[in-house]
């Protein structure tokens, strides 16, 4: 998937690139950046883009979450 995305984005121009600081996303981002044919800005790796786990609320529709908070 990263390879096909890299091919799709290879001629796009980026002014900024942000990525989660988790190892697997770092590796994917570095691979994607290596596929680009344009000047690439320095990648900003940040913990602010890490996945979040919402426990029992995970994958619930918004309507259900709203109803549960009103109970």
Q: pTM surpassing 0.75?
A: no
**Measured distance CA(69)–CA(57) in Å, rounded:** 11
Q: What angle do CA 27, 29, 31 make, to 5 degrees?
A: 70
Identify whether the C-beta of residue 2 lies closer than 8 Å to the C-beta of residue 31: yes
pLDDT per position as a tens digit, 19-59:
999 999 999 999 999 999 988 889 999 999 999 888 888 88
In the prediction, which pLDDT does 54 show? Answer: 85
Contacts of 57 (CB under 8 A, 6+ apart): 65, 68
**Measured distance CA(59)–CA(49) in Å, rounded:** 18
């Amino acid at each position: 998937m990263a390879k096909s995305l890299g091919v799709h984005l290879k001629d796009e121009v980026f002014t900024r690139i942000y990525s989660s600081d988790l190892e697997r996303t770092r590796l994917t981002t570095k691979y994607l950046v290596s596929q680009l044919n344009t000047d690439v800005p320095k990648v900003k790796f940040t913990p602010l883009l890490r996945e979040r786990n919402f426990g029992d609320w995970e994958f619930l529709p918004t309507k259900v979450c709203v109803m549960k908070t009103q109970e």
